Chains A and B, each alone.
Chain A
């Protein structure tokens, strides 16, 4: 079977750092994606990890450990516009986790 777990909600303060975790158990794996989705809009691509380690892209970084079935998305220097849902998704068939709703407060 396939199972992807991530926290339902998180809150953080503007300017802070937040880490959103994702654990997965899937029968097939071709990499892990992180997407951002604002309410009422389609998801937008943030990052992709296929090998273990950290991928950094500006304020966002994503980490993957295949042996542990674990990934996290790290958001630095949080801005109000970062308030959104963050979805981790596992390829092969791109099954999505339930998403983490992040609320950034001033």
Chain B
């Protein structure tokens, strides 16, 4: 089945530094990937839609200059949290689908970010 790999699984960084999270589709090509953020005991909140070869589409309230998304190939999307602050500490999850809106999303295992 479709596999999405996310790296790293967890990361601890100091306030003010930047962190890059990678999301790879291992056995399929994903023209679209999605980035979610999840705070404890809350649901997944869609941050942005990552489109291969074009600019990402950000949801309302998500700062595009703070959460940089690059989707340079059909199998890789990256999310960079720039100048991280403690309030950015969260569980970040990427996902991709095989054929679009009617296919279930396959999720990466998530990245737990802790900013100290």
Q: Which residues of A contact B (CB under 8 A)?
A: 30-31, 33, 40-45, 48, 50, 87, 91-99, 101
- Count of B residues near A, CB < 8 Å? 22
Give the residues in chain B near A93, CB-CB below 8 Å.
46, 49
Give the residues in chain A near B45, CB-CB below 8 Å.
96
Give the residues in chain A near B34, CB-CB below 8 Å.
94
Give the residues in chain A near B42, CB-CB below 8 Å.
98-99
- Report the bound CA distance from A31 to B97 in whole Å: 14
- Report the bound CA distance from A103 to B104 in whole Å: 25
The main secondary structure of chain A at its interface with chain B is loop
Cβ of B70 within 8 Å of any chain A Cβ, yes or no, is: no
Cβ of B54 within 8 Å of any chain A Cβ, yes or no, is: no
Q: Is the CB of A96 within 8 A of B105?
A: no
Q: Is the CB of B101 within 8 A of A91?
A: yes
Chain A residue at smallest Cβ distance from B40: A39
Q: List 26 A-B contacts (CB under 8 A).
A: A30-B102, A31-B101, A33-B104, A33-B105, A40-B91, A41-B110, A42-B93, A42-B107, A42-B110, A43-B105, A43-B107, A44-B107, A45-B104, A45-B106, A48-B102, A48-B104, A87-B43, A91-B101, A92-B101, A93-B46, A94-B34, A95-B46, A96-B44, A98-B43, A99-B43, A101-B41
> A101 CB to closest chain B CB, in angstroms?
8
Give the residues in chain B near A101, CB-CB below 8 Å.
41
